[in-house]
Structure 1
Amino acid sequence: MSAISHEFDLSEATMLPPADPGPRAVPEIEALAARWEAVHEAAAAVGKLAQLGRETLTEDIASLPLRAAARGGWHYEMVARGIDDLAAVMQPGLRALLSLTAGGQDTTAAALTLWREFHMARTAILGLVPVE
C-alpha cells in the first residue's frame, strides 16, 4: 500500500531545531510602566465620555509592570505586547470619540463599548502574570 502524497505530507520533511533566541533583553520596567499608565489615562478619558467617571486602580492592576519584569521571559514579553496592542486599540478609538464629541454628537454608547473592550483586554493581560 502506498501513502497518498498531498501538500500536508511531512513524511520527508527536515525538522529544524528551535532557533536559539540568544540572551534576553533586560526588561524596561520604566517604559512598560509608562505605557501601562498611559493606557489607563486613555481609559479614564473614555470612562468620562461614557459617563462612568474615573476608575480607581487597585494595587494588583498598578503593579503589573513590576510583576511582569520580575517574572521575565515570555511573561514579560507577552505583557509588553499586550499593553502595546491595547494602546493601539485605545488611541484611534479615543481619537474618534473626541472627534465626534467636538462635532456635538453623543458618544456615550460608543465610549461604553470601547470602555468594555478595554476592560476585557486588560483582564486578559493581567491574567498573564497573576498576583501570587
Structure 2
Amino acid sequence: MSAMSHEFDLSLATMLPPAGKPDERMKEPAALASQWDAVHEAASAVGILAQLGEEEVTEEVRSLPQRAAKLGGTKLEMIARGIDDLAAVMRPGLRALLSMTASGQDTTSAALTLWREFHIARAAVLALAQQE
C-alpha cells in the first residue's frame, strides 16, 4: 500500500477554538471570518489528503462572514453556530487523518468522506445566509 506523506503541522491550528458553546465574540465579523478561514484551511488539508488538491474558494463562500454580519440577529447566531459545528467536525477529522498518515496508512477514502461531509455542511451554512 502506498500512503501519501504530508507535512501538516497542527501546532499552528490554534485558530479553531475548543469545542463547546460558541463564544459571544463569534458574532463579531472579524472573529467569524477568522474561524471561517481556519475551517477552510483544514478543509484544504483534507482535500489534499483525499488527493483532490486545493479547492478554489468562490466569492460567495469567502464573503459569508460579512453577509452574516449584515443579516444580524438569529441568522447571524445560526451561521456562527454552523461555523462552530464545522470546526468541531474538522478538528478531530483532520487529526485522525494525520494520525493515519503518520502510521503509513492510505487516507484517501477517509479524507474523501470527510471532504464530502464538509461540503454538505458548508452548503447548509451558506443557505442560511441567503436573503429572504
Once the 2 structures are TM-superposed, how far is the Cα of residue 131 of structure 1 from its aligned partner? 6.2
More helix by share: 2
Specify the alignment match of 1:67 in structure 2. Answer: 67
Q: Among all aligned residue pairs of Structure 1 and Structure 2, give the percentage whose two residues are the same amino acid.
A: 69
List gaps (5 residues or longer) in structure 2. 1-24
Specify the alignment match of 1:91 in structure 2. Answer: 91
TM-score, structure 2 length as denominator? 0.79
Which runs of structure 1 show a deviation greater than 4 angstroms over 4 or more consecutive aligned residues? Answer: none
Once the 2 structures are TM-superposed, how far is the Cα of residue 27 of structure 1 from its aligned partner? 3.5
Distance in 1 separating the partners of 2:113 and 2:50: 8
How many residues were matched structurally?
108
TM-score, structure 1 length as denominator? 0.79
> Are the aligned partners of 2:26 and 2:32 in contact in 1 as well (CA < 8 Å)?
no
The CA deviation string for residues 71-108 of structure 1, in whole angstroms up to 9 with x for no partner, is 10001000000000010000000000000000000010
Q: Which has the higher contact order (CA 8 A, sep 6+)?
A: 2
Q: Could you say if the C-alpha distance between residues 96 and 26 of structure 1 is closer, same or farther in structure 2, counting changes exceeding 3 Å?
A: closer
> Are the aligned partners of 1:60 and 1:131 in contact in 2 as well (CA < 8 Å)?
no
Larger Rg: 1
> Are the aligned partners of 2:42 and 2:94 in contact in 1 as well (CA < 8 Å)?
yes
List gaps (5 residues or longer) in structure 1. 1-24
Matches within 5 A, 1:53-132: 53-130=53-130
